[in-house]
Structure 1
Amino acid sequence: PNQGNTKLNNNLEKLESLLHTQKVELKQLSSNQLKSLRSQIATIEQTNDSIYSLYRNTMSKQADSMIANLNGQQSDVKSNIVALQRISSSIDNASTQKPGTKQINNAIDQLDSALSILKKFKSTSKFINKKNLDLIISVLKSSPNIAKVFANPVYEKKVNIYNLGLLGYGVTPFYTTLSIWVGILLITTIVFWEYTKFSTTKYLKLNRVQSYLGKLFLYLSLSFIQSTITLIGEIFILRIHPNSILGFIGVVYLTTLTFTVILFTLVYLFGNVGKVFGVLLMLIQIFGTGGIYPLEIIPNGLSNLANFLPFYYSINLFRDAIAGTINTSFVFNCIVLGDFIIVAFLIAPLHNVINSLINNFEDAFKLSNL
């Protein structure tokens, strides 16, 4: 019913506009053309009578039917009747004017257009009858759910597909990775990577493998303690509940192992300069591994380095563990972190070559008492 009334109002407004245009044009005609155009006036009067008859015989009955069947829309229909009466008055007034040939032709075209609009309205409003309205009302009364569908045909429902809807879950992969790296970097500052004089006496001779692995195990022990505290804090204090708890724990310790081997190897090879390398790597990885900002919005020169940095794979592993593991992606990232460990072991024997190059720097550093 609302749709029918809307169409009725639109059609009536178009008809009123057309008739108003006719009235304005008819007023502009010259009185000198009255005699020569009496036949056209007769045609106009006949057309006016036809429209008035159409109004009386069709649209008036239709309006009365709508008043009887749509009690909730009585005011709208009454306004439509008033509009029709105004149209009739305009037609009567227009018939008394003095038209000219061009204006008469325009008026005839406009009246034809109005007639087609009225015919179209008549055909489209056939569905508005008591039988159909009663049927719709009975259906809506029998099923309130259908009424709700008509009232709100479209509604929005938000579903959290992955376990990353909260901000804490979204940033956990990056900040966990960063905290592990920073913790190990602090260990390299606090725990000295060389051995005391007692370790180099004739009673205890250490070869390169023993000296490397001995300190590495010490670093790993301290790093695992730090990571365990981080793990407990995230799960029991921050209430981070990953989709795969075992996967989350495994990623924490795999990341700790990888970062410890990398940073200790840098310090083992370059001494204090290795700490500087560790800090520089951390700064690059903060912005260049997609931890906070997507790789697509950062400069290409920086984003292209992501595939060569351990942060990138560690963050992806944490996301898989929290949001839901994709086996192929999870295994691939684990393998790449393992590759970083292998590379660190392979370059560790370069200690003698590199150490001879930085001895002067290390000696000057020791003399500075820093």
Structure 2
Amino acid sequence: MKNAFTIYRNDWIRIFKAPVAAFLIVALMILPSLYAWFNLKASWDPYSNTSGIKIAVTSEDDGAVIRDNSVNIGDEIVASLKENNKLGWEFVSKEKAKQGVRQGDYYASLYIPDDFSAKIATILDDKQVKPEIDYSVNEKLNAIAPKMTSTGASTIVQQVKENFIHTVSESVLSVFNDAGIKLEEELPTIRNIEEKIFALEKEVPKINELGEKVVKLESKFPEINRQAQKILALEAAFPEINEASKNILLLEEKIPELEKVGEGVLLLQEKAPEIQKLGDRVTELDAHFADISEMVTSALSNVEDMQSFLETASGSLEQIEQGINNGKQIADVLPAFMEANGQALDAVGPVYKQNLLLYQKTADAVHQFAASVKAGALTEEEVSKTALTLQAQVQTSIDSLTRSISLFTTLNSATSNGEEALLTEIEDLQALQVNFQQEKEKLQTIKADDEEEASTLMALSQEAIELSTTLIDRYDQQTEPAINRTLEGIKDSAQNAMNDLESAQENIPKLEEIIKNTEESLTFAKEELSKLNANLPKIEKEIHEATNLIQENMDKVMEGINDAANFYKDSFPALKEKLHAAADFVRDDLPAAEEDISKVAAFIENDLPRVEDAVHKAADMVQNELPNLEATLTKTADSIRTFEDEYDLSEIISLLKNDIQQESDFISDPIVLNENSLFPIPNYGSANSPFYTTLSLWVGALLLISLLRVDVRNPEGMYTSNQIYFGRWLTFVTIGLCQSLIVTLGDIFILKAYVAEPVAFVLFSMFISIIFMTIVYTLVSVFGNLGKGLAIIFLVLQLSGSGGTFPIQVAPPFFQTINPFLPFTHAINLLRETVGGMVKETVLFSISMLLVFSAIAFIIALFLKKPLEKGTKKMTEKAKASEIIH
């Protein structure tokens, strides 16, 4: 820890020695507090200034007459709003209100129609119609204002409801009072009617017994007839049923074949990605076929030119060799040959590159063939025929590779020390040759249904494609310069032939071998390109037709395969069971069922009409003699008994004759709400100070890691990674503590925010600053620029998921889930306790959770900083190399 404190001391010495740095540090201490103060002041007490929110009010109510009393509830609403200053009510015409809301002059409008009071008066009619108030709001002006205006509108509606309930209840209670007086006068008559109803009721059971049975039977006859018609239809359809049953038995026999088809569909679905990939490759090839045709024609022309050069060089070389052997004119003849036949030697590189492209083409052809076999897209005959063709093509490439390897071996031996690039090229060519040999062996044994062999061949051909691509990519930068250097060496040796005849004699065989290999490579290239050029029109036509077919039908084919596979997996098992069950029924039960249905059908046709006619007559008699009297009589008697068991009629009369005004007041406003605030906070700004203070501390930490370095110059490795971490951490924490002091003291003494426990508010803010600074500093110290991004992501998540402004219960499920795991959540809760009044259990829980976050940060630093140090440094250097990220 001594070295850590040394780093900390040196940081502050350097800060105080540089006035600009000191000024910047002081600014970083103050800036976060400005973020909190301005936000708190802007939202200090918004609900005390709602009178500036303009709402247009229009009343066109014509009024109504209720029991000889004229009322105009619209005018009453307007009068009450004129005394209400909670919102900015403005009383204007309907058109002005509509235009004002549209243009943003008013946040909302209330329109009371001309029939408002008339509809309220329908309470005394047989049919009631609810009155309406049209409420329009311009929600785009502000997110909160519509909620305030909606509350104002709801208040108006509630006020109308209360007045309406009071008026109606007063009227109803007046009616009840009159009813109570009248009921008391008619009480003897009511008692006499009760006795007669009870006497008549005793005879009802005997009358009902027979009538209920007849009516019950009659009620079932429509259903009986419907079922009877189904039975007759079923009997008529039995010939068709018997014919269909034969098909069911035949279908049951075909189930094994259907299962085999289903398994094939599932297999085809598994191969769908490969089929689609193959289709994409064909489409891409069709789009670029013109370029391919032009490239092949050009390559063939180049090969023919190169062959002409090599023939000339070969003839000249024989003369040079003869001249050298005779020892005549060596100094003049050999340089002249090199000058005359330089184009032949210069053809070595382009010919080799052309061969590389052909190797790649061979590997790609094998890969497409293997993919088609694996996808099951080829028959056995097609597989066999294509495999034979590809074997010949692969063997040709193997022979060409042998010549290429020999060529590069000769070139490499022509230099005194050898070329490393040529050695690498020889190794890769040998690897490609081995690969082609393995492909050839697989092509000799592959079958149409051999998915494993197809997968192996695909892997080999993919490896060959990658090898040939590597050779092609490397050609321009490495291989061609190496070839040219070697050839230049041979040319230089030839130019100096007068001084070194022996060296010239040694290089002549090498030149012969180079030209020979080049000639053979050109022969291979010409043969392959000639074949390809001859087949190009046919290939282009086939590819174009295949592309059109793929583009038109691929989606339908894939959709059909998926639908068929889903049906086989999901529906076919159940269908199979049902089919077996149906077949069992056809074999075992259908003949007996046919016989029984024939008997029932005979009864329906001959006897059922007479039975139905008799039942209708009986039911009609019961219904005519016992119209609704029995049910009404029973219900009335039961109601009387129930009423007398539960209520005392004299007591009801007494209740109906109570005080009308007192009961009406109670009904319109039956509840008294007693409000009790456990932790009162006088204004909105003070209530928000925990959130904005917490937010400013995190923002302060982000400012520090954005402007200050987390690494330390470490000459000769005198500090360990942990010492650097803790040394610079002390510097960051010190600045963070100053930030927390400034913002909290400013909340209390500048903004005059209400804080129940000011000392705890300051101390807990300092504690939170240490936690936040530890988290943010650790992210950047361990992960570099990636850590800065993570710190910003945490800020965004915490703004929405901490419940700082709105209750977390109204947030989406995702934010409710992450809420307990965010440092903001517990930091805000801790500061809320100091603002409103502290509860010991909540304070301890919040502190313990923040300590857990701090412990996690220290564990990450101790265990990951050193292992990730090199990677983080490398990533930082790459970022700096962009000259836009520091």
TM superposition score normalised by structure 2: 0.25
Change (3 A) 1:359 1:213: closer
2:873 corresponds to 1:356: no
Letter in 2 for 1:194: D
Instruction: Give the aligned partner of residue 368 of structure 1.
Output: 882
Instruction: Give the aligned partner of residue 27 of structure 1.
Output: none
Instruction: Give the aligned partner of residue 217 of structure 1.
Output: 730
Instruction: Give the aligned partner of residue 169 of structure 1.
Output: 686
Change (3 A) 1:367 1:294: same
Query: What are the within-5 Å matches in structure 2 for residues 109-258 of structure 1?
Result: 158-195=675-712, 199-202=713-716, 205-258=718-771
Change (3 A) 1:5 1:249: closer
- SS of the residue corresponding to residue 328 of structure 1 reads helix
1:304 positional shift: 1.2
Give CA-to-partner distance per residue, 1:29-80, whole Å, 9 cap, x none. Answer: xxxxxxxxxxxxxxxxxxxxxxxxxxxxxxxxxxxxxxxxxxxxxxxxxxxx
- Separation (CA, whole Å) in 2 of partners of 1:275 and 1:5: 72
Instruction: Give the aligned partner of residue 296 of structure 2.
Output: none
Structure 1 range deviating more: 353-362 or 166-175: 353-362
- Separation (CA, whole Å) in 1 of partners of 2:883 and 2:180: 95
- Separation (CA, whole Å) in 2 of partners of 1:6 and 1:345: 75
- SS of the residue corresponding to residue 804 of structure 2 reads coil
- Separation (CA, whole Å) in 2 of partners of 1:208 and 1:270: 13
Letter in 2 for 1:187: L
Instruction: Give the aligned partner of residue 316 of structure 1.
Output: 829
Are 1:310 and 1:337, in contact at CA under 8 Å, matched by a contact in 2?
Answer: yes
Are 2:745 and 2:762, in contact at CA under 8 Å, matched by a contact in 1?
Answer: no
- Separation (CA, whole Å) in 2 of partners of 1:165 and 1:158: 15
Give CA-to-partner distance per residue, 1:72-96, whole Å, 9 cap, x none. Answer: xxxxxxxxxxxxxxxxxxxxxxxxx
- Separation (CA, whole Å) in 2 of partners of 1:305 and 1:154: 40
Give CA-to-partner distance per residue, 1:263-288, whole Å, 9 cap, x none. Answer: 00001001111110000000000111
Change (3 A) 1:157 1:367: same
* Residue among 339, 345, 348 paired with 2:852: 339
Are 1:267 and 1:275, in contact at CA under 8 Å, matched by a contact in 2?
Answer: yes
Are 1:163 and 1:243, in contact at CA under 8 Å, matched by a contact in 2?
Answer: no
Are 1:227 and 1:253, in contact at CA under 8 Å, matched by a contact in 2?
Answer: yes
Identical aligned pairs, as a percentage? 26
- Separation (CA, whole Å) in 1 of partners of 2:748 and 2:802: 24
Letter in 2 for 1:356: K
Mark the runs of 5 or more structure 1 residues left unpaired by the alignment: 17-115, 128-151
1:205 positional shift: 1.6
- Separation (CA, whole Å) in 2 of partners of 1:154 and 1:351: 64
Instruction: Give the aligned partner of residue 304 of structure 1.
Output: 817
Instruction: Give the aligned partner of residue 251 of structure 2.
Output: none
Letter in 1 for 2:872: I
Are 1:163 and 1:322, in contact at CA under 8 Å, matched by a contact in 2?
Answer: no
1:14 positional shift: 8.9
Instruction: Give the aligned partner of residue 325 of structure 1.
Output: 838
Change (3 A) 1:367 1:327: same
Change (3 A) 1:175 1:154: same
Letter in 1 for 2:780: V
1:163 positional shift: 3.1
Give CA-to-partner distance per residue, 1:347-368, whole Å, 9 cap, x none. Answer: 1021122233333321121122
Change (3 A) 1:307 1:9: closer
Mark the runs of 5 or more structure 2 residues left unpaired by the alignment: 1-169, 183-648, 660-668
Are 1:184 and 1:260, in contact at CA under 8 Å, matched by a contact in 2?
Answer: yes
Change (3 A) 1:281 1:7: closer
1:255 positional shift: 0.5
- Separation (CA, whole Å) in 2 of partners of 1:154 and 1:309: 42
Letter in 2 for 1:351: K
Change (3 A) 1:11 1:158: closer
- SS of the residue corresponding to residue 803 of structure 2 reads coil
Are 2:180 and 2:657, in contact at CA under 8 Å, matched by a contact in 1?
Answer: no
- Separation (CA, whole Å) in 2 of partners of 1:258 and 1:351: 18
Change (3 A) 1:352 1:232: same
Give CA-to-partner distance per residue, 1:327-356, whole Å, 9 cap, x none. Answer: 011111111111111111111021122233
Change (3 A) 1:229 1:14: same
Query: What are the within-5 Å matches in structure 2 for residues 26-175 of structure 1?
Result: 158-175=675-692
Letter in 2 for 1:341: S
- Separation (CA, whole Å) in 1 of partners of 2:172 and 2:869: 89
- SS of the residue corresponding to residue 304 of structure 1 reads helix
User: How many corresponding residue pairs?
Assistant: 240
- Separation (CA, whole Å) in 2 of partners of 1:7 and 1:306: 54
- Separation (CA, whole Å) in 2 of partners of 1:192 and 1:6: 81
Letter in 2 for 1:368: S
Change (3 A) 1:155 1:358: same
Give CA-to-partner distance per residue, 1:200-254, whole Å, 9 cap, x none. Answer: 224x821222211111111111111111110111001111222112221121011
TM superposition score normalised by structure 1: 0.57
Are 1:258 and 1:337, in contact at CA under 8 Å, matched by a contact in 2?
Answer: yes
